[in-house]
Homo-oligomer: A and B are copies of this chain.
Amino acid sequence: MDNIVKVGLLGLGTVGSGVFKTLSNFDNVEVTKISVSNINKKRNIEGLSQEILTTDSMSIVNNSDIDIIVEVIGGINPAFDLITTAIKNKKHIVTANKELIAKHGEEIFELAKKFNVSVLYEAAVAGGIPIIMPIKMALAGNKISKIAGILNGTTNFILTKMTNEKADFEPILKEAQELGYAEADPTGDIQGYDAAYKIAILASLAFGKRIDSSLIYREGIDNISAVDIEYADDMGYKIKLIALAQITENDKVDVRVHPMFVSKKLPIAYIDGVLNAIYLKGHPVGEVMFSGPGAGEFPTASSVVGDILALAEEIPYTDNPLPMLKCKHEEKAEQLDIKHTENKYYIRVSAQNTPGVIGDLGCICGRNKINLSSIFQKGILADGSARVVLLTEPSKEEAVQKAVEEMNAHSQVKQVMNVIRVMD
């Protein structure tokens, strides 16, 4: 049998180019065909022959010479059609497409099972950081109970810069856009959609239960201000956009994406700039963390190529390569509503500078069975109003929402400015 495994590459953008360049170092893999949108575009890629380019992606997934289809186009269409057709043609799949796996993983994995092929997607979560394979293999003996990730580089870059420069959100977003770290329409990153796709993929895998990404509670970072970051720092925290997934006592799954106060005692607090990190808790392993570059041409290529090489080493020897990396058909997770979760909270209130306010805020919390760990006034503003900051013990989200409503209705409260959950 020919030991050279043949790859069809769908897409030759940033990631595709990185994959092509990296694969050129390995002689057991050959890129046979590449689909591009513009065949005449000038490309400066060493070893790339014009003849293997085509604009017809479908011809690649139907090419009987090809063993592995590598999809780095992104988006749902036409990626979904191309991948499902490739699977029906008994080709293994390597993809970096988080949106596709998060939204259509179930159908794709079922189809792959039927046709006995592997679908690998290391690059779909956290770019260059090995996380999918470690969960499936090295950590396979574990019952994983919690994942906390910094899974979006754009928002981590913005929050880090806001922290370092004591700046507010808007100017730093603008700067990030100018530097190319944020897109012209930054909604997908800023509002947590991107992180939600990724945590849906990780949690589905780690818990063995399918997570519906559309049901994930999301809060973006646009409501974070320099003041919140300053107070966080004073109290021993950094603010991070955290993608959280945990198994509850009654075996429900609590998955969400929102900013958090992260204790400076936790190593994940020091994952700054565009870096990503995944913290994972399981038994028997305990707690582990993986960190590194979450995006970019080369880091993403590293993960795509890792998947390709893993398949390429096994394909010559077996009709069932990497059974351990195959996705099992999973039951549907019962996802917990945010209002039934329990968290510690930071609450920042703008109030009139009158003697009774702090007491009243404390009473509102007490009435709602929220234990406070501290409440204090932080400076007087130019307009004479006072900033009051509350920090709670673990409390029901529902109770906190109700307390915030009551605070907002209080005659001496101007507004509850922010409510941020806390990770210790």
Contact = CB atoms under 8 A, between A and B. Distances in A.
Given A271-B267, A292-B288, A324-B310, A302 B142 contact: yes
A285 B293 contact: yes
Contacts of A179: none
Contacts of A317: 318-320, 323
A228 interface: no
- As for how many copies of this chain the complex holds, the number is 2
Interface in A287-314: 287-293, 296-299, 301-303, 305-310, 313-314
B289 A302 contact: no
A26 B141 CA distance: 8
Contact of A140 (B142, B283, B309): B309
A153 B349 CA distance: 44
B134 A130 contact: yes
Nearest to A309: B140
A355 interface: no
Nearest to A283: B298
Given A129-B288, A285-B128, A137 B298 contact: no
A22 interface: yes
Contacts of A309: 137, 140-141, 324
Contacts of A303: 138, 285
A139 interface: yes
Nearest to A140: B309
Contacts of A134: 130, 133-134, 138
A237 to B, nearest CB: 14
Nearest to A304: B141
A257 to B, nearest CB: 22
A22 B141 contact: yes
A284 interface: yes
Interface residues of A, number: 58
Interface string A263-275: 0000101110001
A158 to B, nearest CB: 19
Nearest to A129: B288
Interface string A119-146: 0001000001110111001111111000
A180 interface: no
Contact of A324 (B270, B289, B314): B314
A286 interface: yes
Contacts of A285: 128, 292-293, 298-299, 302-303
Contact of A133 (B122, B133, B271, B299): B133
Contacts of A138: 122, 130, 132-134, 302-303, 306-307, 310
Nearest to A314: B323
Q: Which of A134, A283, A284, A310 has the most CB of B within 10 A?
A: A284
A18 interface: yes
A299 B282 CA distance: 10
B22 A286 contact: no
Given A318-B318, A323-B314, A324-B313, A140 B286 contact: no
Nearest to A141: B305
A143 B298 CA distance: 12
Contact of A267 (B137, B139, B283, B291): B291
Interface of A: 18, 21-23, 25-26, 122, 128-130, 132-134, 137-143, 267, 269-271, 275, 282-293, 296-299, 301-303, 305-310, 313-314, 317-320, 323-324
The 4 closest A-B pairs by CB, nearest first: A141-B305, A288-B292, A130-B138, A284-B298
11 contacts: A130-B137, A137-B309, A138-B307, A141-B302, A141-B306, A267-B267, A270-B270, A285-B299, A286-B296, A291-B291, A313-B324
Given A23-B141, A133-B137, A314-B318, 4 more contacts: A142-B302, A284-B298, A288-B292, A290-B291
